[in-house]
Amino acid sequence: MNAQFHRFARKALVPGLAFVPTYGNILMGLACPKPFDPAAEYAITYYPPQPRAVIELVDPQDPARKVGYGETGQVMLTTLTKEFSMPRFLERDETERAAPIEAYPWDGISNYTTTTTRHW
């Protein structure tokens, strides 16, 4: 969900109601969004459900290199549950690395896009 649809949903689809976007997949589970702040221009930042899922944002051309905060990278996901382990799975998703916040003291992702091509 991008900022444009987020704004439309809050203002036109469900005005006055709580609207909580989520992101997830079968490997990650559901990631929670940063609490809504109109000053953020409706941008959404998601934080993965640690310790079940840990993400790194890596350089698509060099997956060994982690990108800096605010830089765009490809999601490298590590999943660890009692039943399943998947270390360092390079997803097709590209996004910006977001800094930790008080509610979620680990890296998040924002400005999410899905790519259809691999860089490796």
CA dihedral 119, 93, 34, 38 (to 10 degrees): 90
Distance CA 49, CA 19 (A): 19
* pLDDT 10s digits, 65-93: 999 999 999 999 999 999 999 999 999 88
* pLDDT 10s digits, 21-53: 888 888 899 999 999 988 989 999 999 999 999
pLDDT band at 115 (very low <50, low <70, confident <90, very high): low
Outline where the chain has alpha helix (H). 3-8
